[in-house]
Amino acid sequence: MSSLLSINGLEKVFLEDSNPISAVKDISFDLRESEILVIFGRSGSGKTTLLHLIAGLESISQGSILFQSNSINEMSPDELTLLRRDNIGFVYQFHHLVNEFTAIENVSLPLILNGSKRYKANNKAKILLNNFGLGHRENHKPSELSGGERQRVAICRALINEPSLVLLDEPTGDLDRETAEQVIKELKDYLNNSKASLIIATHDKNFEKIATSIKTMDSGIFI
Ligand SMILES: Nc1ncnc2c1ncn2[C@@H]1O[C@H](COP(=O)(O)OP(=O)(O)O)[C@@H](O)[C@H]1O
Ligand SMILES: [Mg+2]
């Protein structure tokens, strides 16, 4: 089976400052369908930068990223926007939900942007929110939800377009242990019925339970 994602000799140097910072130095790996890669690493080791490069949110300094055999380095801004909307879901540590929107509106948004009718998007969002134990909170805005609930909404939003790759950046970093364990369990249940691949950057050892492979990042490389 060919790789979903193939990364070769990836490097990122930030040049803004007077002294350049090599955030990602020489990363190579392949990811296949249904794989769950968990990346551990202390703060500042390059995890977020790596996820941003894969999502096309940062430009690459050296090396290549092939997503479904297409080179992310060579995509136009419009192509990258479509890639993120349709194929790559992103979950941030601090959810980045639209504060004025309810849970169901937040989750529906990517599907509506994709041309879906509102009622269809809402129906699908409802099912997802139910899967993550949030059926009863669908009409609440982020400010009326707990941290764990907000993070579940952000996960549902990242999943609604059924992306083949989901990138999660410290998704439980802001949650207490019990809530984090619950969210991980719900994610695992969801993945049993999906072919999505995940890359999770985290400090949370609980993710070891769902990982198909584990790497540790330090100073921009896998050690
Ligand atoms: N936009 C940026 N400009 C300059 N340096 C950056 C930028 N983003 C990250 N860095 C630096 O790159 C290194 C890796 O950061 P990051 O990828 O955020 O690590 P992690 O997510 O593991 O904490 C750090 O030294 C950080 O200061
Ligand atoms: Mg980070």
Which pLDDT tens digit goes with each residue over 136-192?
A: 999 999 999 999 999 999 999 999 999 999 999 999 988 888 989 988 998 988 888
Verify whether ligand 1 is closer than 6 Å to residue 220 (CB atom): no
Q: Which two tokens stand for residue 211?
A: 């990982």
Note the pLDDT of residue 214: 98
The amino acid present at 144, given as its one-letter code, is: E
The contacts of residue 106 (CB under 8 Å, 6+ apart) are: 97, 98, 142, 153, 154, 157
| Ordered strands of the 88-91 beta sheet | 88-91, 165-169, 197-201, 36-40, 213-218, 221-222
Q: Round to whole Å and give the CA distance between 119 and 151.
A: 23
Q: Round to whole Å and give the CA distance between 205 and 124.
A: 31
> In terms of residues, how long is the chain?
223
Verify whether ligand 1 is closer than 6 Å to residue 44 (CB atom): yes
Q: Which two tokens stand for residue 110?
A: 């990517």
Residue nearest to atom 12 of ligand 1 (CA): 23
Note the pLDDT of residue 1: 58
- CA 143 / ligand 2 centre spacing (Å): 24
Cβ neighbours, 10 Å, residue 11:
17
The contacts of residue 130 (CB under 8 Å, 6+ apart) are: none
Note the pLDDT of residue 95: 75
Answer for the pair 104, 139: CB distance below 8 angstroms, yes or no: yes
Verify whether ligand 1 is closer than 6 Å to residue 14 (CB atom): yes
Domain boundaries, the chain: 33-59+73-222
| Exposed/middle/buried for residue 78 (C-beta within 10 Å: 0-12, 13-18, 19+) | exposed
Verify whether ligand 1 is closer than 6 Å to residue 46 (CB atom): yes
Verify whether ligand 1 is closer than 6 Å to residue 202 (CB atom): no
Between helices 147-159 and 118-131, what is the axis angle to 10°? 130
Of the CATH numbers 3.40.47.10, 3.40.50.300, 3.40.50.720, 3.30.460.10, which one belongs to the domain with range 33-59+73-222?
3.40.50.300
> Quick one: DSSP state of residue 18?
S
Note the pLDDT of residue 90: 94
Q: What are the angstrom distances between the C-alpha of 3 and each of 30, 88, 114, 165, 172?
A: 6, 15, 26, 12, 27
Locate the ligand 1 atom nearest the alpha carbon of residue 49 and give its number: 17
- CA 170 / ligand 1 centre spacing (Å): 14
Verify whether ligand 1 is closer than 6 Å to residue 142 (CB atom): no
Tell me which residues of the chain have a pLDDT lower than 50: none
> Quick one: DSSP state of residue 58?
S
